[in-house]
Amino acid sequence: MAAAPHQDPADRAGYAGHPPRMGFFTDTSVCIGCKACEVACKEWNAVPADALDLTGMSYDNTGGLGADNWRHVAFIEQRRPLGTAHTGVSHDDLDVLALAGQGTGAPEQAPATGTPPAGDIGADRPPQPDGRTELRWLMSSDVCKHCTEAACLDVCPTGSLFRTEFGTVVVQEDICNGCGYCIPACPYGVIDQRKDDGRAWKCTMCYDRLGAGLEPACAKACPTDSIQYGPLDELRERADARLRTLQDAGVDDARLYGRDPTDGVGGDGAFFLLLDEPETYGLPPDPVVTTRDLPGMWRRVGLAAGALAAAAVAAFVTTRRSR
């Protein structure tokens, strides 16, 4: 439901003196697709193994998030260069292979001006960065976004889904009755029912580890710090700085996704630095909390019911008077 902008969800849930809101910042620019996060998540949370099928989607054998995949590493192959990183220096006029062949890099055999003899132009030159490849791999570890405005919470009739003191959203599997209302309510298609028991399952951000002061298993296992865990405000500052660094280096397509607290879900507790459009990663470009219009709908239903009741009373009174 709609709430005051920037209001801490743990405050709204009634927690007094709660810890800061915790979250994930996933920097896809340093993801290497090792899938350690997927394995660590399954190991810690006892998520069942699923079929390791060949999906035809590069090295992606999970296909997407689901009841048995609380982390999903996407592999996107694109026929385009990785991007142009401007280093601020240029060695185009130096024959670095010739310098390396001297052992010490002593400049006595290198042209003082960096200009090779006319007959040697083009010989033994290092490959130019733009000519190396036309293929790039985008890799990203997706997860539940732990929305500020979580529609799954709004529609759960049993209270199985609840907001934690850390601002995250967790499913209590012993209370879930398998109604499935939360599944179409999620704007990201994250939450899912397990086929063998019908209950809903998703990432808990390792709620049990957070309570013990530990970071979630996926972040702990990530070897490149692509998945970073911490207070959400600090992660947002870190992400802003990382975005500036990439854009200053010439990676113009870099962008943050889910970081804005004024977006359609009030910002995500798990947000991303992407290197392309969100749709490329299978993410909706403008997610909106699906229960946003419910209060207005119920008001209109109430008005319509009141009007019908008034019309029925008026018809009854008119009929009585006419007799």
Annotated binding site: 31, 34, 37, 41, 144, 147, 152, 156, 176, 179, 182, 186, 203, 206, 218, 222
Phi, psi of 322 (to 5 degrees): -75, -15
Q: Are strands 200-201 and 192-193 parallel, antiparallel or unpaired?
A: antiparallel
Tokens of 100: 């390396």
Q: Which two tokens stand for residue 25?
A: 């910042």
Tokens 């007959």: give the residue.
Answer: 119
135 neighbors 78 (Cβ within 8 angstroms): yes
Rounded Cα distance between 210 and 166, Å, is 8
Dihedral (Cα; 177, 41, 188, 204), 10-degree rounding: 50
What is the pairing mode between strands 169-171 and 161-163?
antiparallel
Strand residues in the chain grouped as ranges (E):
22-27, 72-78, 136-142, 161-163, 169-171, 192-193, 200-201, 227-231, 255-257, 270-274
Cβ-contact 167, 14 below 8 angstroms: no
Decide: 243 and 204 in contact? Cβ < 8 Å: no
- Please state the φ and ψ torsions of residue 217, each to the nearest 5 degrees: -60, -35
HSE at residue 64, side-chain half, CA atoms within 13 A, is 9
Phi and psi at residue 295, in whole multiples of 5°? -60, -45
DSSP 39: H
Q: At CA 131, angle to CA 128 and CA 135, rounded to 5? A: 135
Enumerate the known binding-site residues for [4Fe-4S] cluster. 31, 34, 37, 41, 144, 147, 152, 156, 176, 179, 182, 186, 203, 206, 218, 222
